[in-house]
Amino acid sequence: MSNVSLGQFLKQSTHLTENLSQLIETIANTCKTIDLALQKGALAGVLGSAEHENVQGETQKKLDVISNDLLVDALTQHSSVAAIASEELDDMTPAQQNGEFLVLFDPLDGSSNIDINMCVGTIFSILKASENTATTADFFQKGADQVAAGYVMYGPSTMLVFTTGQGVHMFTLDPEQHEFYLTVDGVKIPEQTQEFAINSSNQRHWEAPVKRYINELLEGTTGVRGKDFNMRWVACMVGDVHRILTRGGIFMYPYDSKDPQKAGRLRLMYEANPLGLIVEQAGGKISTGRQDILTIVPEGLHQRIPVILGAKAEVDRLVDYHQA
């Protein structure tokens, strides 16, 4: 095991300011508390529905609410945070008047997995705040403008993965020391892949380019790709992205006609942008199929978007099919 703790790593990263380092540590420490609540599960009475919906119209789990409250409390009290926005809340929440950063987060990605004891995660995105009192419009920055982005994956091992624009770093939580230690630095997505992730139950709603691409993968050695592919689907975007970072592959939640009023399923600012920055820093790519997601200027805090991300060659192939 590496003997470099998260705190030591951040201090050694000379391109980071003290305020940004402290903010990343605050998020990591809060996620340790979320991890403890998840580990206790039914013993602490935190499983099951909270019996009300969030702004997305989704039924919240008790741990959605607990995780959100923990992050809201920690971040609004942080001296460097001007305002926060959560996937679970309607509007942004002001914090410190002279704060330097804006923080967005999905407190518990994949929360439908909670009650079956499977992978869930926390996603965060950090932006620069303006010099004036924070407004909702200040959050509408391109994903490429993020100063940091990351996630914590709660699983057999609890892992913190983040980027500050100079590569991707993986840390593993030591449950005895209750500390994150560096386990992989300079993460790179393998260029060759035989895995893909997509919710195939929506196949009848897909556009023609996606159907073409998936059909080629399913044809295996007898098709144009000349090799067999395996489908993997975690139902937690953090888990699917983590697999791509470690084993390669492509993840797709593309546009479909199931609900023509929605451009996509995933949230641009809470999921696509932070995970997209990580993927690109690891040598991969993220796109809607028609546009580089990290170049999109958001129009709303809860904007949804189609997402295709992973190994660059695979994403480029599917983008080419959209443009054909």
- Is 73 marked as a binding-site residue? no
- Is 112 marked as a binding-site residue? yes
- Is 110 marked as a binding-site residue? yes
- Is 108 marked as a binding-site residue? yes
DSSP-assigned beta bridge partners for residue 173: 180
Helix (H) or strand (E) holding 279: helix 273-281
**Cα(158)–Cα(121) distance, rounded to whole angstroms?**
9
- Is 248 marked as a binding-site residue? no
DSSP-assigned beta bridge partners for residue 206: 256
- Is 271 marked as a binding-site residue? yes
- Is 111 marked as a binding-site residue? yes
> For residue 323, what is the DSSP state?
H
Q: What is the secondary structure of 281-318 as a DSSP string? A: HTT-EEE-SSSBGGGPPPSSTT-EE-EEEESHHHHHHH
**Cα(274)–Cα(160) distance, rounded to whole angstroms?**
13
Q: What is the secondary structure of 90-131 as a DSSP string? A: SS-EE--TT-SEEEEEEEEETGGGGGGT--EEEEEEEEEPPS
**Cα(137)–Cα(126) distance, rounded to whole angstroms?**
15
**Cα(158)–Cα(260) distance, rounded to whole angstroms?**
37
Q: Which amino acids are annotated as binding site for Mg(2+), given as ranges?
A: 87, 106, 108-109, 271
Q: Which amino acids are annotated as binding site, given as ranges?
A: 87, 106, 108-112, 199, 271
Q: Which amino acids are annotated as binding site for substrate, given as ranges?
A: 109-112, 199
